[in-house]
Every structure is written in C-alpha cells, then in structure tokens.
Chain A
C-alpha cells in the first residue's frame, strides 16, 4: 500500500461525497444490559464527537462486543440512553439503526460468502435506494438510474480498498485480510456517520496491520466518519486512537488518551492482575 491509495481515495471521495457521512456525534449514557443474573454491561458511557477515532479495549469477555450489539440494536439495553445526532436509537431495529447512520463490522467476519465482492458492497447501498418493487419488475428508468449509482459507488469503494481487481470473485474465496477490508468497505457503503469496527486487525500479519492503520486513518479523514474500534492489538490501538475506553467485567474502568490509559493502575491491574 503506497501513495496510490490516497489518490484513489480522493477520487472516490468525489463519488462518495456527502454520502451521509456527515459529522454527528454519538452519545451513550448509563447503558446497562444483563442476561439473567449476568450483568454483561453496566453503566456504559461514551461520547464520540464527529470524525473522532476512539478505541474500546478490555480483557476477553469484558463485554466489548456486547456494547457493539447494544449500539447496533441487536440487543435492547435494559436502561440508558443512546443518541446519534440527537436522535434516540433505543428500540429501533438493527436495519433502522443502520439507516440512521451506524454501521459495523463483525468480530467473526460475516460477509455474504456466496455473493461476489462487488455484490457485497452493492447490497450495502440498498438501504439508500428509493425505487419500488414495481420499479424492479418493470425496470423503470429511476430504478436503472439508482442501480447505476449503486454500481458507481460500489466500484469507487472497492478501488479505495484495492479490491476492485477481485470484485467478481465470491467473497468467501478472498484471503482473510481482504475479507476484513471488504467488511469495512461494505460498512462504509451504507453511508454511515459512525463506523464500529470489531477487531479489524484480528488475524492479520504485521504488514497487513500496518496497512490497516493507514487505511483506517484515511477512511476517517476522507469520509469524515467517526470510528469506534474494539481491538486487542495494542500497537494498533495506541497508534490510532485519540481516546480509549477500557471495559472490565462489563464496567468502564477508565477513559482517556492512550498515554493516560497506559499509565492507569486500574487498567494495568485488569490486564495483568494485582501483585
């Protein structure tokens, strides 16, 4: 990944300009969720300003992915408030939350394996379409125009993510690192304001991780989206994130800049145990 990327990225930005990726902040206050007697997340709070790059870390089983599932509507919080640009997301279906502007990737990659790379990204543009089913069956002019716009947007995104030369392959046939990047491209295609990345660097080799860091930063800069990421690789987190929240046993135990987090005794204790 050399400078070639930034060139295509700005080209693509022209196509993708204002694709919904406008600055709005995500506010999470006092969100809790328990499963039976297990308190999975307690009093989770977060304030994600526009175009921010924040991290969510914690030991295994700390409830990080549960937080993502609460934000994206997979689970409904027992209490607390989640707003995006002032609009409450509580009680909305995941598809409605995606429409509001929250897109995510998955820890265990969830691509549409049988569909091609191109189709995966085109599908993610679907929620922004306005044509009717009658338009599909009659192939109305507007339906064709929107399909053309979808193709254009998907192609631009795939170029940004350097997946365009494999766009007709089935998603499942891509190498692992490419699948991770395709998931990010697909999430971006929904036109989000906030992007949630669940362990984007998992399973990547050092070179891929290095490329990924650059890519994530560029995505934030060019598209203007806020990014919240769960990541275990401290190199990636500390390098990328402006602020970090640490979860332990479902409770946020620390919040601050990477430097503050590294020095925080509670965080060190959570990761390494007490002496």
Chain B
C-alpha cells in the first residue's frame, strides 16, 4: 500500500552526503560573510558599505515575502509588521541583556561585528556577539509565532480580504509600539522600573536608537546566503510545490490532497521568521533608530514592490529587485553617474530594433506561434531594457538641467515602474522562474531557431 515509501526505500542513501547537505550551506554562509567583512569591507568607504548592508537586509525581506506572496499566493501587505517585531524583540534583548550581563549597553565588537569593523586587538568572538546571535534568533522566533496568528485568519479568508487582515496586523504592531514607555538608559532606571516593564521599554514613538550596533556585512550576508538556500530548497521540494499549487488553484490543490490551510499558515510562519531576522539585523545597524514607522504600510509597500517587480514566486528575481529598489534612490541622487547609462542604453535600443527587424513577422499558422513561441520576444526584451536604461539617463539629464533632486521623486518613479511593468510584463522580471532556469532563455532560443525556420520556408 505505502508504495511511494517502498520505492523511496530502494533509493540508496549515504549518511555522509546527508551530513554534507547540512554542512555546506553553513560553510558557504560563513565563507561569504567572512569575505564580505574582511575582503570587501576594508576596500570600500563607509557609505557604500552601508548601502551594501541595506541591500542585504532588503534581499532577506524580499525573499521572505516571496514565500507568502509568491509561493502560496496569499497577498500579505503587512510584512513590515514582522520586521518591526523581530527588530524590537532582538533590540530589547541585546540592549537590556547587555545591561544585565555586562553592566552597560555598549557593543563589545569581535572581529566579525560592526559595520565599520572592530578594533585591531578585538577578540574573535565576544559574549556580546553571542547575545546578538541569540537575540536575532529570538526575534525571528517571536515573529514566526506572530506569523501563526496572522496565518490563522487565512484559514477562512483569501485574496483582498486576507490582504486587509495583514494590513491591520501591521498597523496594530505600529500602534502598540507607539504606546511603549521610554527607553531606560541607566542601571538605576532599570532597577527602579517594574521588572516586567523593562524589556517593553523600547521608546514608543521616540524610537529605539540605543541598540548596540553589532550588525556587519558578515552577519547580514551570512543570513542572506542561508535565506536564499532555504527558500530555494523549499521551492524545489514537494512542500514548495504544494505551496505553489495553492497559488495556482486552491480548489484543485485541495482536491489533490494538499492541506491548503496547513501550508498557508506555514508560509506565513517561515516568511515571518526571516523577516524577524532581517528586523534584528536592521535594528543593530549603525545609524538606525528603530521607530514605529518601520512597522507601517509604507515599509510593507517597499517590500511588495521588490517582490512584484522581481516576479511573484522567483527567489532570484526578488533578490535582484531588492538590490535595484534599494540602490536606485542612491543613483537618482547622482545624476552624473546615471547619465552615463546612456552609453549602454542607446546601443541596446539600436541593437534591439535591428534584431526585431531580423526576426520579421511570425507566421500565425507556424507551430512556434501556436505553442507560444515568438521570435520577437527576445528583441522586445532588449528594446524594453534599452528604453528603461536610456529613459533613466534622459531623466537624469533633465533633472540636472532643471536642478531637480530625482531621489525626492523615487516613490513616483517606483509607482511608474510598477505600472509599466504591469502593462508590459505582468509576471514581473523573472516570473516564477529563477535566473538559472533554462526556460527563462527560451525567447533567445526561439529567436535563433525561428529564423532558421523562416529561411527554410520563405
């Protein structure tokens, strides 16, 4: 009867290989983290390092939201709520934990921590960093627990209705944080306060800026690597297919034996965990003062933009879009750099138009056309990309000419980008595909094969 298991038992297993599959992601995470901290960081200025760090946190956030919005197809617009919960929980633990353990809230940086690096004589790993790591995980877990709370309404709700619930969740988190008491800044104040209130004293609407600043490129990029690997393993598994099937057709998924509610809630939980980790990293970043706004709709919307632009369901797409959306405001601030993009954009336009001419009109009766293959898809893609890049540099030129600061208008630009994307490529940059999927490059193949075909029949 249990035939699937009988067949599975015939597949040879190697304990060594299994151990390797647990080990290599951790090793890779450490390796990438160390490389970022000790090879990349010392060779670039403070400002770009902060940007690279922001990109890393954005990638974790976007990939985590992909699991809910992209895999299970539940539209969550309160993701920043999880970010804030993770951030505040982790921040409170390291801040008050440092008081309890070390007597003050200053960071004790080891060689892996701190955006600008530790002192030359710093220890390799300090107790403070241990506390930080614990706080990150705790923030993630508390956030995941809240994921269950938000996921449960999805038992009954779908689509717009669920979106409203998640929106409400984000707002509740925001308002609750606003009501928290002031940060206790000395040992005496902590001793005087009610013990239960101490960890809740996170500053209310004034913000929580005194969190020790442990976050470094090491921690962020180690987390990025692990997030990407886990999300990808999820997508490439039976469980991931179950999630995707809910997105495709919930009724059919249920009829095929997928426990849809179970997987919807799990989607929320996993996404909330990673968002909580991202929140913890964010809270401990230099120059950041956590505030209730971080739980707000604006922040949630930023993450949604990344996921939608990247392609709902694509991990690599979300990561790429996260990098673009985070870095673009910076580019907009420097029109001179942006103007140079024309060097790439204009040739792309010319080449794209030339290729479109070569592709010719497809024969409507040809088998290629019938099966959804269009030799013009690839030239169109090149032209589209060319238009975007040239457009940006043109925009920069105009902005410089008239003395406008483009970065003030970044939200308008993102909204415009979303509109254009929905019209021309509703599935987003990569759709559900990953960067390395062969199917993504079919337009390229179609372009060349169709040309040969045309030559034969013309």
- Choose from B5, B252, B256 the contact partner of A130 (Cβ within 8 Å): B5
Asked if A180 lies at the interface with its beta carbon under 8 angstroms from chain B, I say no
Number of A-B contacts (CB under 8 A): 157
> Which one, A142-150, A210-218, A241-249, A250-258, is touching chain B?
A142-150
* Contact (A145, B8) CB under 8 Å given A72-B255, A94-B254, A127-B256: yes
Q: Which residue of A lies closest to B256 (CB)?
A: A124
Residues of B within 8 A of A112 (CB): 244-245, 248-249, 252-253
> Which one, A10-18, A32-40, A225-233, is touching chain B?
A10-18
Inter-chain contact B21/A139, CB cutoff 8 Å: yes
Residues of A within 8 A of B238 (CB): 122-123, 125-126, 129, 131, 136, 146-147, 150
- Choose from B13, B15, B17, B257 the contact partner of A127 (Cβ within 8 Å): B257
Asked if A222 lies at the interface with its beta carbon under 8 angstroms from chain B, I say no
Inter-chain contact A148/B239, CB cutoff 8 Å: no
> Which one, B76-84, B166-174, B213-221, B229-237, is touching chain A?
B229-237
Residues of A within 8 A of B457 (CB): none
Interface size class of chain A, counting residues whose CB lies under 8 Å from the partner chain: 35 or more
Inter-chain contact B254/A93, CB cutoff 8 Å: yes
- B8-27 at interface with A (beta carbon < 8 Å): 8-11, 13-15, 17-18, 21-22
Interface size class of chain B, counting residues whose CB lies under 8 Å from the partner chain: 35 or more
Q: How far is the CA of A266 from the CA of B88 in the complex (A)?
A: 73
A133-145 Cβ-contact flags toward B at 8 Å (1 or 0): 1001111111111
Interface SS, A side: helix
Asked if A115 lies at the interface with its beta carbon under 8 angstroms from chain B, I say yes
- A110-128 at interface with B (beta carbon < 8 Å): 110-115, 119, 122-128
Q: How far is the CA of A136 from the CA of B232 in the complex (A)?
A: 10
Asked if A159 lies at the interface with its beta carbon under 8 angstroms from chain B, I say no
> Which one, A42-50, A58-66, A76-84, A98-106, is touching chain B?
A98-106
Q: How far is the CA of A142 from the CA of B18 in the complex (A)?
A: 9
B237-273 Cβ-contact flags toward A at 8 Å (1 or 0): 1111110110011011111111110000010000000
Residues of A within 8 A of B11 (CB): 144-145, 148-149
Inter-chain contact B248/A17, CB cutoff 8 Å: no
Q: B residues touching A (Cβ–Cβ < 8 Å)?
A: 1-11, 13-15, 17-18, 21-22, 230, 233-234, 237-242, 244-245, 248-249, 251-260, 266, 313, 371-372, 431-432, 439
8 contacts between A and B (CB under 8 A): A112-B252, A113-B248, A123-B238, A123-B242, A136-B234, A136-B239, A141-B15, A149-B7
Other CB < 8 Å A-B pairs besides A124-B256, A139-B18, 11 of them?
A17-B3, A20-B1, A20-B3, A94-B251, A123-B244, A127-B258, A128-B2, A141-B18, A145-B13, A146-B5, A150-B238
Interchain residue pairs A-B with the least CB separation, the first 10: A127-B257, A98-B257, A112-B248, A110-B252, A149-B7, A149-B8, A145-B11, A145-B8, A141-B13, A139-B21
